[in-house]
Structure 1
Amino acid sequence: MLQRLSGKNSGVINFRKWQMKHMDLYNLSPVSDSPSAECSLVFFDLETTGLGQACDIVQLSAVSGGHSCNLYMLPRCRIQSRAAAVTGFRVRRRCLYLHGHAMPTLPLPQALTAFLAFLRMLGRPLLVGHNVRRFDCPVLARALDEWQLRAAFQQVTSGFLDTLPLARDLLRDRGQQSYKQENLVKAILGVSYPAHDALEDVKALQMLYYALQPSVEQALRHTFTLSMAAPAK
């Protein structure tokens, strides 16, 4: 499902140096020497059947300014009880339920293709997520590889930025006790939100990122490519 949300335009950041550094990995064309060369930011999150990297994706959500993408998939494996308790997802008679409500689903390859279409619309964005290098990216990479979509994905993205180490970098002198996303949102923005719903998570992360106001140099320290993420197990 592609949606238009109310709100400000998508954020952009100058990542020319990063793109030049990783050009050989992505077969990128050089970008303009102008300091206005910019990269859109897309905040993304996955909900899965479990906490291991061999789990299936149940929900894939992304937001960039006022644009959003929210996709549900019927998993091929059982949703672990711990994950179900956290996310509210259940499967009954080949139907996906979220907190007791039946959700429209797509087969995984169609959902991934829809996600790529969303990213393509935004012009090779940088994907931003919380703790994504250790979990979400390996899970996503395995799904892309299963359906031979990694090359297509790399053609429509400019890499990743993980806000977990970024927040630790920015807040190390503030005595922050927990770097879980919902705790950071509470501490920095002073609000609570329904965490572990991927769409709500990415909307909250977008607000958190702009509240943290990292410099380009600070953000660059925590960018990486899909191949640099931890391997899926």
Structure 2
Amino acid sequence: MQTEASVDAVCDRQTVVFFDLETTGLGKNCEIVQMAAVSGGHSLNLYTVPRCRMERGASKVTGLRVHRHRLYQGDQLVLTNTLREVLLSFIAFLKMLTRPLVVGHNIRRFDCPLLARALDELELRDEFDSAVSGCVDTLPLAREMLKDRCLRSFGQKNLVKELVGVNYKAHNALEDVRALQSLYAVLQPPPELIYRHKFTLDTMYTTTHTVTHTKGDAG
């Protein structure tokens, strides 16, 4: 059994990677379009052309659209990679940071299941699992930490505005992870709370915290 002191020691030296996806929609069969991660001054930002159509609402909020099997941000052509290349690059990024903790907002019921499905499809789950120490969702973590604050929303954009004092362009994965890194620095969750909210891709459905089922609270 880990003592409180050992939990503190592990969390104090834990590298954190902030992670986010933009997708073709909010349904269970939607696909990854953009993946971004940041840890300190290190960042990763990659795009891929999805196999399914982008929903109109997703294109409206992200500015991303597919035309003739090419991805555009507005009218600008976006450089893309295959989904396998995107996932392998993410795993390499994680390995560079020596089994970091992957942190994101509303990831347990949205981003992580999509990530797990893609990893399984391309037989990369074991590589990912060996590259990380676990995941933490800042949505339930923030709800627990800030339960006595009268906040109108625990969506990331509102939390960043209220706690960091910054408005930013949400629904761009790179901007989202940069903003989340700033928010996390302000929140400074204690090691014991991080440990209690920690999960893996195998245990993400067995935790008991109340979470939303879509990406809606992430923006």
CA distance in structure 2 between the partners assigned to 1:201 and 1:47 by the alignment: 10
- Counting only pairs closer than 5 Å after superposition, residues 1-150 of structure 1 correspond to structure 2 as 17=2, 35=9, 38-150=13-125
Q: Is the 8 A contact 1:47 1:59 kept in 2?
A: yes
Q: Tell me by how many angstroms 1:34 deviates.
A: 10
Q: Counterpart of 2:66 in 1: which secondary structure?
A: strand
AA aligned to 1:126 is L
AA aligned to 2:93 is F
Query: Normalising by the residue count of structure 1, what TM-score does the alignment of the two structures yield?
Result: 0.83
Structure 2, unmatched stretches of 5+, are 207-212, 214-219
CA distance in structure 1 between the partners assigned to 2:181 and 2:122 by the alignment: 29
AA aligned to 1:52 is G
CA distance in structure 2 between the partners assigned to 1:78 and 1:34 by the alignment: 45
Q: Counterpart of 1:39 in 2: which secondary structure?
A: coil
Q: Is the 8 A contact 1:58 1:72 kept in 2?
A: yes
Instruction: Give the number of aligned pairs.
Output: 204
Give the equivalent residue in structure 2 for 1:222. Answer: 197
Q: Is the 8 A contact 1:126 1:157 kept in 2?
A: yes
Structure 1, unmatched stretches of 5+, are 1-15, 19-31
Q: Tell me by how many angstroms 1:220 deviates.
A: 1.6
CA distance in structure 2 between the partners assigned to 1:75 and 1:68 by the alignment: 22
Q: Does 1:151 align with 2:99?
A: no
* Root-mean-square deviation over aligned CA pairs: 2.1
Q: Deviations for 1:14-52, whole angstroms, at most 9, x for unmatched residues?
A: xx949xxxxxxxxxxxxx999367221000000000101
Q: Which runs of structure 1 show a deviation greater than 6 angstroms over 4 or more consecutive aligned residues? A: none
Q: Does 1:160 align with 2:135?
A: yes
Q: In percent, how many aligned pairs have the same letter?
A: 55
Q: Is the 8 A contact 1:138 1:230 kept in 2?
A: no
Q: Counterpart of 1:97 in 2: which secondary structure?
A: strand
Q: Deviations for 1:123-166, whole angstroms, at most 9, x for unmatched residues?
A: 00010000000100000000000000000101111110000001
